[in-house]
Amino acid sequence: MRMHLIQKLELFPDHRVTQMLFKEVKNAAELKKSAMEGKINGALINPTMLVDPFQVLVAANKAVHLEKVEKMKTRTLYSEIIFNLSPTNNISDAFKRFGISDGDDSVLIVMVDSKDESQDVSDIAARVEGRQVPVEELSSLSDHTKIKKLYKVTPQEEKCGSLLDAVVCRMATKDVMTGLLPAPLLFFGHSLNVPFCPLEQFKC
């Protein structure tokens, strides 16, 4: 089974997103420090707050779009990916919830390459003191209780659609509300089935 998950962005075909998942990580503090210093060219994400790799793909797509139109709210593409995972516009809260902490024992590393710039994933993977596992194992780390609370997912929504649908809907409505991003850009043709979005005028 392939350890890395590599996907092209449908709306930006010159870009591809690579995801790598690690468990039993022993140097989260060191990794976080290296990322803050720009020594790791990637987003370090707390996998317990993720439902599915598709959630990251949506966040990365939004980040690339906002970078191109020069409307990012954070300083870098990778910090923008972390911010885009959040259902709110509070940047510090997004990093607190979705970035890694010093004592974390798992991490999802996300990288974005373009045709003009690529990077060696093995070099970044070698920095992690932990066990790399297939990205498909992400769901085994998800803390659904915390995720539902953060995204304010109701029991009614879960009856009509999946938790992933509800989460992506929240991510979408945040930018639709601010007018930064047209809704169709968010979903890559992913079939959403959430009729109870927070915004009455935006039907997921």
191 falls within a domain: no
Query: Is the CB of residue 102 less than 8 Å from the CB of residue 43?
Result: no
- Residue 117 gets which letter from DSSP? B
193 falls within a domain: no
137 falls within a domain: yes
Digit-coded pLDDT (tens) for 17-56: 999 999 999 999 999 999 999 899 999 999 999 999 999 9
112 falls within a domain: yes
CA distances from 92 to 14, 82, 97, 166, 202 (A): 31, 10, 9, 23, 27
Q: Domain holding 53: CATH number?
A: 3.30.2380.10
Checking if the pLDDT of 15 tops 90, the result is yes
Total domains in the chain come to: 1
Digit-coded pLDDT (tens) for 146-194: 999 999 999 888 888 899 999 998 898 876 644 444 444 444 444 444 4
164 falls within a domain: yes
Q: Give the structural domain span for 108.
A: 4-179
Rounded Cα gap, residues 128 and 22, in angstroms: 8
Digit-coded pLDDT (tens) for 92-135: 999 999 999 999 999 999 999 987 777 788 899 999 999 999 99
Please report how the helices 163-178 and 77-85 are oriented relative to each other, as an axis angle in degrees rounded to 10. 120
Q: Which pLDDT score, from 0 to 100, does residue 20 have? A: 97
Which residues are CB-neighbours of 76 under 8 A, at least 6 positions away? none
pTM: 0.86
Checking if the pLDDT of 198 tops 50, the result is no
CA angle 118, 36, 106 (to 5 degrees): 80
Give the residue among 29, 62, 56 at the shortest CA–CA distance from 43.
Answer: 56
Checking if the pLDDT of 195 tops 50, the result is no
